[in-house]
Structure formats: structure tokens, C-alpha cells
Amino acid sequence: MCGIIAYTGTRSCTDLLYQGLRKLEYRGYDSAGLSVLSGGRIEVIRAVGNMDSLEKELEGNGHSDARLGLGHTRWATHGRPSTENAHPHSDCTGNVSIVLNGIIENYVNLRSELAANGHEFTSETDAEVVAHLIENHYNGDLLEAVRLTYADIEGHFAFCAIHSGHPELIAGARKECPLLIGVGKDEAFIASAIPAFLSETRDVIVIGDEELFVATPAGVTIMDLEKNELEREVTQVNWDVDAAEKAGFETFMRKEIYEQPDSLTDTIAGRLPDGGGVVLDEMAISDEVLAGIDKIYIVACGTSYHAGMVGRYVLENWSGVAVELDVASEFRYRDPVLSPSTLVVGISQSGETADTLAAMRQARKLGSKVLAITNIMGSQATRDADGVIYTRAGLEIGVAATKSHVAQIAAIHLLALYLAQARGAMSAGEIDGIASELKAVPELLQTYLRHEATTHEIAKRYYQQPFFLYLGRGVGLPVCLEGALKLKEISYIPTEAYAAGEMKHGPIALLDEGSPVVVVATDGHVYDKVISNIEEVRARSAAVIAVATEGNEGIKAYSDDVMFVPATSELLSPLLSVVPLQLLAYHIAQLKGCNVDQPRNLAKTVTVE
Ligand code: M6R
């Protein structure tokens, strides 16, 4: 986790670093800091809390002469959030300053060795050892000191270092955690993610895994670990700068909920051509291989896992291949039975989630083909996979995933149709029929969003309740799991989500008079079963909030409140039915006065296991 940014150039850089950190805040926001070279000394400014705290700390403290500096926004792993633990970290002399994203696994040993040699530590972090190691190795050559430090440390990380004796130079390295360079005229930005410098330059160089770099205003050089220079292309990113702003919405989360029709349209675009069939340009796994697979294994975390769970129903039904599913953090420490005829699908919005990446790598080692479904071009997941399906949700800032989730589900629909095509599991006519329905969903979703007020009213009636139970069957189950996750993560209200048929085996004991029970009861082959479960809930005097299909007036007799979604076929329905649950969570959290874009203890991208 954590976001890092560095600048070298001809402009005063404190504000550039600060603005860059604002764009990286989604990666962590329990403390933040900057270090700049000013008056020949490295000045460090740090604050506990989000960027507003750092902004206060910077007032009247801008060091306008600074042309070289580092910035960091932290999500604590080693050491509680405090000013001392905030980055940047310094060596004993104050000449070296570093920012780091990731984890140094052998820091305990390194720290005691350094301490035994007289180094004094001022924080509880693993990262501080990097500053002291550079100090140890420094002999007038910052790059060499960085290279030797890289060899000392274990784990996964990306870091940038500056030294007061090199007023224009940034050196650093990356292993598994992301690091990109934004190249400008007589300047360079180094950051964990493109939005940090997107307003300044669109020319980007990706630093590869296990590579070193140096940057000065005159240019950047990427090297392997022996300092051999590597050729690197500059790519132009065409992202919309405004995408990183709220565009008139009060929060990023609500803006992103409203971007879901576009996110779906873009994810489907060009992949279901009018002439028929399914086209997936980056699939890169041949039809022949796909025709031979006998098992699909989906690995993912959090919201992406819930998209994967929808995938289990869709893939089995349309492609006829058996599907297994696991959270990546469990999969990687089991002994999963995989073979070259297993297709492992890793789903990750960020393409950086440590557990998902580890699971994908493990699968590859065991000889399986690996497919990544991710939102981020060039992310690590794309490099750890044989093929990719990009979701095209655009930049998602809200920590609570919304538009990336519906895009993931649509990507799974595309994968299922593609497999069905490659394996001859469905006729061309059947595939085209589903394709037409899928293409109609964005418009249906747009229509649904006009009825947000209903959900707001329902939220007003229930937001003070201490607990919510979610129940669903079939594809309604992952929708419930996702709805319950959304509510707990942004409102801090405890929730449970259960397969409706399992309720009588335990969770029913939680129900009391008026307990809110959210039930996904959209049309489908298990609808009557869901109604029976609703009856069981009502017999305990609990309150039923149903998500149902428009036109089903009968559901009103079984529910206290209903959120209607437009009709579509059962396996496509999660694209619509999850949206009222996102909005319900959103409005409840807003009514409770919670910060929905930055829920406590969370970060958007989880690059630690
Ligand atoms: O980037 P990923 O999709 O791999 O992230 C996985 C989870 O951390 C993520 O889906 C998380 O559960 C959501 N942000 C919650 O809304």
C-alpha cells in the first residue's frame, strides 16, 4: 500500500508533490509527508492523518526554492500511524531521505545489525532501514548505494531516495510494487500511479520489476540490477484529467456509481461486434488451449472475489466448464489441485493486490494458464498472466469499489461467451442473443439510476439499525455478499450475508422484531425459494427490504420496502441488482456522517499480504 511521488526539475516542487499526493491518497491516508532539498539541506514535513493535516503543516512552510523532493501517503503496516512513523525517513546524518511503498521482510535483522553499528532509529517502521542502509553504502554515488541496498533487502517494495549532495538526482528501485516515471520538459516525476502526475505530463515510462532507475532534469535511465542500461519506450496516456476530480458529485463513490453505465458500455465496446461472436484482443490464450481446459479456478479478494462468484454461475452455465473459486489469501497457502488443463482467472481492479498476484504466480508455476481480469493497463497482474481481459471502468478513486465491480462482472460475461464460442458449447445464435441483451444493460442501468431517491428514503428509515442481514440465492448470493461488504466498509454497521437457504441453519437466530433483512429477490429459477425464505424472516417480525424485478407487484405483499430494478435475464441480473445495494450502503453511510471515500482502516490498493 502507500503512495509515493518524487520530483526533479526546474520548478518549485513542494506544491507539485503535495498535489501529486492528493491524487494518491486513495492508496493510504493515515499519515503523509514530504522531504525537499532547500537551502542545501533536506527538510522533512510530516503529519498524522490525511492530506488535510499535511496541508496545515505546510502552511507557511513551502520551501519555494526546492527543485528536488519526495512525497508519501501512508497506510500503516509496521508501526502505528504517527509523525515519527510517517515517511519520508532519514538516515542518521539527515543527508539521505527515502520514501517506500511495500514491506521489507528482513527489516528486524537489518535493523539490529545497523543499530549494533551505531545507527539510531527514530521510527518503528520497516522502511527506515533503507535510509540507513543507503547511508552505510554511500561513497559519493547514490545509485550504487541504492543498488547495494536493494541487494540487502527482502520483500516487495518500490522506493525513491535523494541525497543532499546531489541536488538534481533521484535514484530508486522496484520489486513487485509499482513505480512509473512521468517525463516532462527538463523534469521528471516518479510515482506509484499515473494520476499523481497526470496534470503535468502524459509521457510515461514503466519501471520494470527488479529494476533500478536514476532521474535528473536532463533525463531518466532505467537499469537492471547490474546497472546495465535498458531501453524503455515512452507511452502516452490518454486518461481524462477530470476523471480524477468529482465532477460535481459530493463524493467520488457517488460519482463512480453514476459512471457505471459508461463503465459497462466501455467494457463491452468492440468485443461483441454486430457481425456476431466475441472478440477479446488481449486474450492471448489460444482457442485450442481454451477448448481443452477442464477446470476454471477463480482467485480474487474482496469485491473482485464477489465478481468471481457471479462468474461461477455464469461460466458453468454458458461454457460447461467446472468452476472453483477461492479468496486469493487462502488459495496461495493451500495445495490447490491444478494442471495444465486448468485455467486460473485472477480478478483484480488494481492488478496489484499482493495475495491475488501470489496466487496467479503459484498457478503459473504449477503449469496452469493464467488469465487476468484487471482495470489497470500494464499492472503487475497483466505481467503475471498469459492473457488479459481489461475492464474499462476508468480511474476509480473511491475506496469502495463500484464501477469496477460491474465492469468485472461484464468481463466475466464476455469470458463465458468467449469460452462457449471456443468450445462450441453454445450456438452462434445463442451467443448473439445474450450479446444483444448484455448491450442493452447500460441503458437499463441509466434508467434505474433516475430512481435513486427511493433508496435514499429507505436508507432514512433504517440507518440507525445496529445490524443488517443480507440473503440471496443463485447469482443473488454474490450480490448480497457485495451489498453487505459495501455497507460494513463505509458505514461500519455489522452485516452478515448468507445463502438464503442456509439462514435456518444459524443466522435466523440473529433476527428480532424490526431487524432489517435485505433480500435479493429478482426474477429467476430460485425466486419461489427466495419467497419461502422471506416468509421465514417475516415470521420472526423482521423487516424485509427486497430488491426485485420491475413489474413484480406481488413482491410488495412480502416486503416492507422494495427497490425495483429493470428486467434482464437471470445471469445478467447482478449487473443491475448490485446497484441498489451500493446506493443503500452509500445513503446509510452518508446519513451516519461517515467519510465514504476514505473509510477507516482501509486503502484502495492492498499491496501487502
Ligand atoms: O484491486 P483489487 O480488485 O484486487 O482489490 C481487492 C479488494 O481489496 C477490493 O475489491 C476491496 O474489497 C474493495 N475496494 C472494497 O470495496
Tell me what the pLDDT averaged over the chain comes to: 94
When mean pLDDT is compared across 9-23, 72-86, 181-195, 393-407, the lowest value belongs to: 72-86
Lookup result for grid cell 501517503: 73
> Within 6 Å (CB) of ligand 1, which residues are found?
301-304, 348-350, 353, 356, 399-401, 489, 605-606
Written out in words, the top-level CATH class of the domain with range 252-449 is alpha beta
Question: Which pLDDT score, from 0 to 100, does residue 78 have?
Answer: 81
Within 10 angstroms of residue 232's Cβ, the number of other Cβ atoms is 16
Residue-wise pLDDT for 320-334, tens only, equals 999 999 999 999 889
Question: Which pLDDT score, from 0 to 100, does residue 243 have?
Answer: 63
Domain ranges in the chain are 3-244, 252-449, 454-591
Mean pLDDT of 194-204: 93
Q: Which residues contact residue 390 at a Cβ distance below 8 angstroms, ignoring those fewer than 6 apart? A: 282, 374, 375, 377, 411
> Is the predicted pLDDT of residue 26 greater than 80, yes or no?
no
Atom of ligand 1 nearest to the CA of 305: 10
Cα(288) to ligand 1 centroid in Å equals: 32
Question: Which pLDDT score, from 0 to 100, does residue 606 have?
Answer: 81
Provide the CATH number for the domain formed by 3-244 in this structure: 3.60.20.10
Atom of ligand 1 nearest to the CA of 404: 3
Atom of ligand 1 nearest to the CA of 374: 3
> Is the predicted pLDDT of residue 240 greater than 90, yes or no?
no
Mean pLDDT of 549-558: 96
Testing ligand 1's pocket by substitution, the residue of 309, 350, 380, 487 carrying the most ligand atoms inside 8 A of its CB is: 350
Mean pLDDT of 240-256: 80
- pLDDT > 90 fraction of the chain, expressed in percent and rounded: 83
Cell of 214: 536514476
Cα(504) to ligand 1 centroid in Å equals: 30
Pairing mode, strands 495-499 and 468-472:
parallel
> Is the predicted pLDDT of residue 608 greater than 80, yes or no?
no
pTM for the structure as a whole: 0.80
Question: Which pLDDT score, from 0 to 100, does residue 156 have?
Answer: 85
Q: Which residues contact residue 278 at a Cβ distance below 8 angstroms, ignoring those fewer than 6 apart? A: 271, 272, 414, 417, 418, 421, 431, 435
Confidence of residue 592 (pLDDT cuts 50, 70, 90): very high
> Is the predicted pLDDT of residue 522 greater than 80, yes or no?
yes
> Annotated catalytic sites, by residue?
2, 604
Q: Which residues contact residue 422 at a Cβ distance below 8 angstroms, ignoring those fewer than 6 apart? A: 287, 290, 291
Closest C-alpha to ligand 1, atom 4: 348
Cα(334) to ligand 1 centroid in Å equals: 21
Cell of 121: 532509529
Testing ligand 1's pocket by substitution, the residue of 26, 29, 303 carrying the most ligand atoms inside 8 A of its CB is: 303
Q: Is 73 exposed, middle or buried (0-12, 13-18, 19+ CB in 10 A)?
A: buried
Atom of ligand 1 nearest to the CA of 300: 4
Atom of ligand 1 nearest to the CA of 602: 14
Cα(180) to ligand 1 centroid in Å equals: 22
Closest C-alpha to ligand 1, atom 7: 302
Q: Does 3-244 match 252-449 in CATH topology?
A: no
Task: For residue 415, give the amino acid letter.
Answer: L
Map residue 312 onto helix, strand or coil: helix
- Of the two residues 396 and 164, the one the predictor is more confident about is 164
Mean pLDDT of 111-137: 97
Mean pLDDT of 45-61: 92
Task: Give the angle 295-485-313 at the CA atoms, nearest 5°.
Answer: 25
> Is the predicted pLDDT of residue 245 greater than 80, yes or no?
no
Testing ligand 1's pocket by substitution, the residue of 75, 353, 597, 609 carrying the most ligand atoms inside 8 A of its CB is: 353
Q: What is the DSSP letter of 202?
A: -
Cell of 481: 455478499
Cα(521) to ligand 1 centroid in Å equals: 26
Report the run of H or E that residue 369 belongs to, with start and end.
strand 369-374
**In this structure, are residues 81 and 30 in contact, taking their beta carbons and an 8 Å threshold?**
yes
Mean pLDDT of 142-154: 98
Q: Is 145 exposed, middle or buried (0-12, 13-18, 19+ CB in 10 A)?
A: buried
Mean pLDDT of 221-245: 86
Cα(599) to ligand 1 centroid in Å equals: 13
> Is the predicted pLDDT of residue 449 greater than 80, yes or no?
yes
- pLDDT > 70 fraction of the chain, expressed in percent and rounded: 99
Provide the CATH number for the domain formed by 454-591 in this structure: 3.40.50.10490
- Of the two residues 239 and 429, the one the predictor is more confident about is 429
Q: How far apart are CA 207 and CA 186, in angstroms?
A: 19
Question: Which pLDDT score, from 0 to 100, does residue 244 have?
Answer: 62
